[in-house]
Chains A and B, each alone.
Chain A
Amino acid sequence: MKIVMAIIKPFKLEEVRDALTGIGVHGLTVTEVKGYGRQKGHTEIYRGAEYAVSFLPKLKIEVAVATDQVTKVIDAISTSAKTGQIGDGKIFVYAIDQAVRIRTGETDADAL
């Protein structure tokens, strides 16, 4: 079992969600985050005070999937979240030890 975690541009959320639903992934967690990579920030000026704002708003999506699904999920996210401009984001995959569905107590593969 793996978690596929993607940082994407916020306006891409609906497209990514639709793409994941299309390949049979029906649950995800979304967090609002800030960050930067190669995309530059901007300058904000408030009267005499100039601020260089380098942190940009992004969304972090996390989906828990079976290991054999990971490649399909990465492809779906990559295609739907891409704009071709700097700042499209990154995808990370990490292993999880256990999963539990709280309502029923199902574990591991049955919980995904």
Chain B
Amino acid sequence: MTEEIRGRSLWQDALARLKRNRAAVTALVLLALIVLLVTAGPWLSPWSLDEIDWDHISTPPSLETRHWFGTDSVGRDLFVRTLHGGRMSLMVGLVATAVSLVIGIAWGATAGYLGGRVDGFMMRVVDILYAMPFMFFVILLMVFFGRDILLIFVAIGAINWLDMARIVRGQTLALKQREFVEAAVACGLTAPRIIARHIVPNLLGVVAVYVTLTIPQVILVESFLSFLGLGVQEPATSWGALVNEGAQEMESAPWSLLFPAGFLAATLFCFNFIGDGLRDALDPRDR
């Protein structure tokens, strides 16, 4: 009996390559741990987000006081605050990335598929928007319209779709030459249906890579705003806001800077490594 030779799909191939990438696997495990800690961690601690412990103000990390990451200058528990901040940062990362994903895919796929003048115009819009100093506009938005969480999500999402639109358009241009699209056209499907059913599903590989690289960017933007005092407002907190508070106390209480900064950097590190690993796995040209 001969052994049957089985083909491997693109995804199986990619997965195998990803598993061999030690840095990416480590990052994946570490990220899973961070997510788990951030979701479940606050329940483990006896303290709550804005509870003030008058006996321990600005105390270093200690097991006895049950302030595992110490307390800040008004006696709030930093373990709980860091993890709550993490929830906020990760949530902003996911939601804003989703916003940019939807706009970017719709815009890029439409431009690429329709081609011609429409494409020229749509991409020109992207070029122009690309040259705008968006961080400044987001800050303006925050100043003029108040510091609203929802606004942060939308504003950040609205910046980040540009790269996504460009990448998706490029892929769509290549895809629409393929036979299955021709077959769909021959069957009489309308353009929106072809885009939704035949183009978009085939873009997912590239999009997956890009999403893992967009999430850390978005988290970075949110932290940047919060660091300046223009993002998330009390009583809610995020890693950027905590780094800001910690930086003001760092000479007397370095732990209040080091814990949130460590979590923020580790998370960004993980996402970047996973994104890089995914890209190498799906497109192994350069290795």
A binds B: no
